[in-house]
Amino acid sequence: MTDDRLLSVDLILAPIDASEESLDAVEYACAIAAKYDAYVHVVHVLSKEIVQAIETGSVDESAVATDGQAITESAETIAAEHDIAVSTSVVYGFSTRIKTTHPGRVVLDTAEDIDADFLVIPREPLPEEPGEVLSRAAEYVLLYASQPVLSV
């Protein structure tokens, strides 16, 4: 058997939020990365409620940072268990000023910015719980991504 692959994957994007499903997506991203000798970039997408609270100053930003750090550390732990290199970032999933800023668009913009070859996005059941922002983004990403997408 030859190792000729139809798909070349160097960088996998795995968007996450506060849901367990998003950490499952990181598991899948790491498994794929292991097969392709790739690395994973995890982007934490902040919810509308958090973004609005930050913009209005009605939330302790250090508490938001601490919660976000815990979420990204969980993803980093999963990557370490698979011996996969991982990088992380945080983005606002919504904007009160720019209507085109929504979770799906933010995921696709991040994929383009980092030159991702593959995306793994959670498809969460509705309704969303606070902090879970990616359920509606999955369909948008599946429709408009230029990269292959695995929705889990």
The CATH number assigned to the domain holding 70 equals: 3.40.50.620
The reply to whether 30 falls in a domain is yes
**96 has a pLDDT exceeding 80:** no
The reply to whether 107 falls in a domain is yes
The reply to whether 139 falls in a domain is yes
Check if the beta carbon of residue 131 is closer than 8 Å to that of residue 17.
yes
Q: Tell me the residue range of the domain where 141 lies.
A: 11-151
Rank 3-7, 8-12, 43-47 by mean pLDDT and report only the highest: 8-12
The reply to whether 1 falls in a domain is no
**Distance from C-alpha of 17 to C-alpha of 51, rounded to nearest angstrom:** 13
Q: What is the pLDDT of residue 87?
A: 96
Query: 42: closest CA among 138, 116, 151?
Result: 116
**Distance from C-alpha of 17 to C-alpha of 132, rounded to nearest angstrom:** 5
The reply to whether 122 falls in a domain is yes
Tally of domains within the chain: 1
The reply to whether 4 falls in a domain is no
Q: What is the DSSP letter of 91?
A: E
- Tell me the per-residue pLDDT of 114-149, one tens digit each, with 9 for 90 and over: 999 999 999 866 555 655 678 778 889 999 999 999
